[in-house]
Amino acid sequence: MSSTKDFRFGFSGNAFDIDGLVDDAVRAERAGFDVFQIIDFATALSPMVALAAVARATSKIRLSPFVLNTALWNPATVCRDLATLDRISNGRLEVALGSGISLPDTRGLMPQTRDERFGRLRETVAAIKETVSEPGITPGFVERPRLAVAGTVDRVLRLAAEEADTFLIASVPPVPKVEGLEPYEVIPEREATAAYLDRLRDYAGERAEVLEIGTSAPVILTDDTDAALAELAATHTNLSPQQIFESPKMLVGSLEEVVDQIISRRADLGITYQSLRTSTPEEAAPVIEAVRARSTAQAAGSVVTR
């Protein structure tokens, strides 16, 4: 699956401290990131309220809950918060949605069954789309926000194929049990991901060409790639070092190797939206700069060849 879509890069900020979050956002904008993200944990800052502060401190970077746990929110009233945030940011909002994972600290706050949580996700997608044309109890969006859906199971693939602008790879079924790791921490093999995305595109039909594919990955820049992979393999005991190196949810190696991974995953898997997980935005800045320079050079070479 070859893609010519432009790359976009996201950075997830400190979701537990508002001053740290705003500082992360200002620095991420300066470092060249396209989207500033905040997780939606019950014990963390409310994403919409926190991103309103971020909107006032930044001017260009887009803003996104990543991802909004729809099981914790009322579909109708969350649209009011999202539309308000979109207006505060002058149309910079992106909405990333997931059905949520039942954890001990949220179990009593959200629907108990997977069917119910998926139903809430679908209702939220429908409510956001309806709010674009019929604001109802909300102030209305500046314009239709970009909509991303994250998930693992087949019905979420179908929903994303039908309704989303972006599909975010969460994990890839079947998710093996790995000692010491939660299911959402298990990283997928490249081959399984390719088959998974092929199924998504089959469901999307004609929409497959416009559907953006995104993922998040830690960036581990190192002068000793083999040693770093061996250390990771000691934890991810179901994968070999080479499989970890090829996994679309890991970026490990020298700067050149990481750039190669990002570029090749666009060509092979169609992944163009990368959430880069680093301690600071500045750590990822050389990666963004190098990917964009390489991509521009490749595009120019293609034009000259033609």
The string of DSSP codes covering 78-117 is HHHHHHHHHHHTTS-BEEEEE-----TTTTTTS-SSHHHH
- The reported pLDDT for the residue numbered 181 is 83
Residue 219 has pLDDT above 60, yes or no: yes
**Residue 293 CB-half CA count within 13 A:** 8
Query: Is 123 contained in some domain?
Result: yes
Q: Are 162 and 126 in contact (CB under 8 A)?
A: no
How would residue 104 be classed by pLDDT, with cut points 50, 70 and 90? low
How would residue 142 be classed by pLDDT, with cut points 50, 70 and 90? very high
Number of domains in the chain: 1
Residue 101 has pLDDT above 90, yes or no: no
Which amino acid, one-letter code, is at 83? A
Query: Is 27 contained in some domain?
Result: yes
How would residue 105 be classed by pLDDT, with cut points 50, 70 and 90? low
**First CA to last CA across the chain, in angstroms?**
21
Query: Is 242 contained in some domain?
Result: no
pLDDT tens for 151-166 read 999 999 999 999 999 9
pLDDT tens for 226-282 read 999 999 999 888 899 999 999 999 999 999 999 999 999 999 999 999 999 999 999
- The reported pLDDT for the residue numbered 1 is 56
Residues written for the chain: 306
Residue 9 belongs to what H/E stretch? strand 8-12
| Mean predicted confidence (pLDDT) in 45-63 | 97
Residue 151 belongs to what H/E stretch? strand 146-151
CATH code for position 27: 3.20.20.30
CA atoms of 137 and 80, how far apart (whole Å): 7
How would residue 180 be classed by pLDDT, with cut points 50, 70 and 90? confident
Query: Is 185 contained in some domain?
Result: yes
Query: Is 287 contained in some domain?
Result: no
| Mean predicted confidence (pLDDT) in 36-50 | 94
- The reported pLDDT for the residue numbered 303 is 56
Residue 215 has pLDDT above 70, yes or no: yes
Query: Is 292 contained in some domain?
Result: no
Q: Which two tokens stand for residue 230?
A: 């061996």
* Closest C-alpha to 230, from 222, 218, 219, 240: 240
Q: Which two tokens stand for residue 74?
A: 């009322």
**Residue 98 CB-half CA count within 13 A:** 22
Query: Is 177 contained in some domain?
Result: yes
pLDDT tens for 283-303 read 999 999 999 999 999 888 765
* pTM for the full predicted model: 0.94
- The reported pLDDT for the residue numbered 176 is 84
Residue 192 burial by Cβ neighbours in a 10 Å radius (0-12, 13-18, 19+): middle
Domain extent, residue 210, equals 8-217+269-277
- The reported pLDDT for the residue numbered 249 is 96
* Closest C-alpha to 96, from 186, 270, 189, 216: 216
Query: Is 254 contained in some domain?
Result: no
Residue 103 has pLDDT above 70, yes or no: no
- The reported pLDDT for the residue numbered 106 is 66
- The reported pLDDT for the residue numbered 301 is 77
Residue 305 has pLDDT above 70, yes or no: no
Spatial CB neighbours of 230, under 8 Å, sequence gap ≥ 6: 241
How would residue 107 be classed by pLDDT, with cut points 50, 70 and 90? low
